[in-house]
Chains A and B, each alone.
Chain A
Amino acid sequence: GQSLEQPSEVTAVEGAIVQINCTYQTSGFYGLSWYQQHDGGAPTFLSYNALDGLEETGRFSSFLSRSDSYGYLLLQELQMKDSASYFCAVRATGTYKYIFGTGTRLKVLA
């Protein structure tokens, strides 16, 4: 089967750095995406890794290691507005299905 596992919840304080992990079991995929979703809102795109390595977009960075079946989203200089759920996602090769991770709820404390 194909699945992406994430920690259910992460808590950090304002100004800190937090890493949200995504481990996956899938036979093949095109790349790893990350989305943010605030309560009651729609998911918004954050980052995409087509290749292994680190991608940086402002305070957010994302990493992928296909050999380790692992990726992560790194959020720096945490702000209260970063409190949200974060999902990793892949598009499977062959079927082109999109698979989203179980989601991580991030709580940022003052």
Chain B
Amino acid sequence: DSGVTQTPKHLITATGQRVTLRCSPRSGDLSVYWYQQSLDQGLQFLIQYYNGEERAKGNILERFSAQQFPDLHSELNLSSLELGDSALYFCASSVGVDMETQYFGPGTRLLVL
């Protein structure tokens, strides 16, 4: 158990819909990262927040957005969902802004039908 929690564990929805994934970092961690992993694919970095501010942005689609709240939990919003958005979405956290050790949550498995 990494100490990072993600909800929900599974999510099934239809194309065109909008969903929100939630992540709570480890106690004391200020950075939150979001990743997408499609079936049998590697990890694609989406975005990083540090202490409420956006720190780095990867290949995140315009239909996707994220934020980190004052209590440091983070939400990833996915809208106008497409079949290709079906994937495992991981949240990770780290102590500092540039720490190389990231602790991953169990992931949210999203299925878009």
Question: Are chains A and B native binding partners rather than an unrelated pairing?
Answer: yes
Binding site for B on A (CB under 8 A): 30-31, 33, 41-45, 48, 50, 87, 89, 91, 95-103
Q: Point out the residues of chain A lying under 8 angstroms from B103, CB to CB.
A: 45
B48 contacts A96, C-beta separation under 8 Å: yes
How many A-B residue contacts, CB cutoff 8 Å?
A: 52
Starting from the known contacts A44-B2, A102-B42, 18 additional A-B residue pairs (CB-CB under 8 Å) come to: A30-B98, A42-B90, A42-B105, A43-B43, A43-B90, A43-B104, A48-B100, A89-B43, A91-B98, A96-B55, A97-B56, A97-B57, A98-B45, A98-B58, A100-B35, A100-B42, A100-B43, A101-B42
List chain A residues, Cβ under 8 A from B102.
45
Q: Classify the secondary structure of B's interface with A.
A: strand
Residues of A within 8 A of B104 (CB): 42-44
Whether, in the assembled complex, B106 has its beta carbon less than 8 Å from a beta carbon of chain A, the answer is yes
- Nearest B residue to A48 by beta-carbon distance? B100
**Chain B, 77-113, CB within 8 A of any chain A CB:** 90, 92, 98, 100-107
Contacts of B58 in A (CB 8 A): 97-98
Scan residues 3-54 of chain B and give those whose CB is less than 8 A from a CB of chain A. 33, 35, 42-45, 48
